[in-house]
Structure 1
Amino acid sequence: MYSVANKNNLYFIISIVIFLLLKLGYKFSDITTLGFLLKPTNKFVEILMNSNSVFIKTIGHYHSSLNIVIDKSCSGFNFWILSFVMISFLLLKHLNTHFLKIISIPISMVYAYVVTIFVNTSRIFVSIIIQQQTNNLVKGQQHIIHETVGVITNLSFLILIYYFTKKLTLKHLHHEKLA
């Protein structure tokens, strides 16, 4: 018997190959090539924190008023590609036609990109606020707070993205079947 999983294997493999190629490309990327993630994130951080940054090609976006740098490690690249794979697998699992499966892959990538900008901005914003509030309490240990906020934020958003994407997908498919 030919199962649903077998019908999706090619698409799952395509998503995984894209993930692996992007992950490999990340190793060779720099602050400039990650501008597609860093520039919008930095712009939103500037707005939220009422802070202007200066772009330094070798370092990143430096906010002198906050004494922070938004650099390569802040790009959210790994979150983006992980979200992409999660979303594409979720959509592929519930779509029936080859056309929808094919277009679900670039749609997943764009959807993951938009969500990544939001999550990244949120993560950086919360990190800045928490670090400002705890600066005198844990001198020299700010990196632990920064990493903890990152893990909690990213994991929470991955769970929420999965939940809402699944809900929206199933709701949309249910309405399609009724029509």
Structure 2
Amino acid sequence: MKNKLSLLFLFTVFCIGFAAKWIFTNLDVEYSIWLLKPTTIWVEQITGLDFNLLQNEGYVCTQISPTTIIDKSCSGLNFWLMSFLLGAFVLHKKITDLWRFFYFFILVFNLAWLVTIIANTGRIVISIKFLPLLSPHIEYAQSHLLLGIFIYVTMLILYYLILRKWDMGIRN
């Protein structure tokens, strides 16, 4: 029973992840608000800047130059998906009954969301505060891409290490 529930858990998470990727890729920015709004709130708190939601655009800040937009591409959907799947693959062996199935599903979903908000906030704040300082030496688009790779890979590694440490402390 334990192995069947564990496999059902992985299958469920995979299906939801696949569906989320397929559905959200084809939707407008308004459907990414569940990731964009909390990220924007944290960015506003850290930077002191104000962002306003423009329909079909995203969150726009005109207080700095160039105008900064937190749009659908900044939502981190792919990162959320990787975090969601990573959490499921690390913790799936802890699924021993139906109660743990739902508990770990909700846990993995919410942890992936939180890690995504943290990673996106860090990426955007660093992009706003520090990347303009590099513009004489490296093209902004390149530095933004490299920063995203660095932040996301670092956060995925940290998330994995935290999950593994926490996983070892959970008794079956």
C-alpha separation between the residues in 1 aligned to 2:78 and 2:136? 31
* 1:128-143 paired onto structure 2 within 5 Å: 128-138=128-138, 141-143=139-141
Give identity over the alignment, percent: 26
Pick the aligned partner of 1:8 from 6, 9, 25: 6
Pick the aligned partner of 2:155 from 141, 157, 162: 157
C-alpha separation between the residues in 2 aligned to 1:136 and 1:32? 35
Larger RCO, structures 1/2 (Cα 8 Å, 6+ apart): 2
* 1:80-95 paired onto structure 2 within 5 Å: 80-95=80-95
TM-score, normalised with respect to structure 2: 0.90
Match of 1:54 in 2: 52
Match of 2:77 in 1: 77
TM-score, normalised with respect to structure 1: 0.87
Question: Is it true that 1:24 corresponds to 2:51 in the alignment?
Answer: no
Q: Runs (4+) of structure 1 moved beyond 6 Å?
A: none
Contact 2:84/2:112 (CA < 8 Å) preserved in 1? yes
2:170 partner SS:
helix
Q: Deviations over 1:17-75 (max 9, x none)?
A: 11111111112221111111111111111111111112211211111123211000000
Asked which structure has the greater CA Rg, the reply is: 1
C-alpha separation between the residues in 2 aligned to 1:99 and 1:6? 14
Give the aligned length. Answer: 170
Contact 1:60/1:71 (CA < 8 Å) preserved in 2? yes
**Matching residue's letter, 1:116:** T
* TM-superposed deviation, 1:144: 0.6
C-alpha separation between the residues in 2 aligned to 1:128 and 1:161? 24
Task: Please list every run of 5 or more consecutive structure 2 residues that lacks an aligned counterpart in the other structure.
Answer: none
Task: Please list every run of 5 or more consecutive structure 1 residues that lacks an aligned counterpart in the other structure.
Answer: none
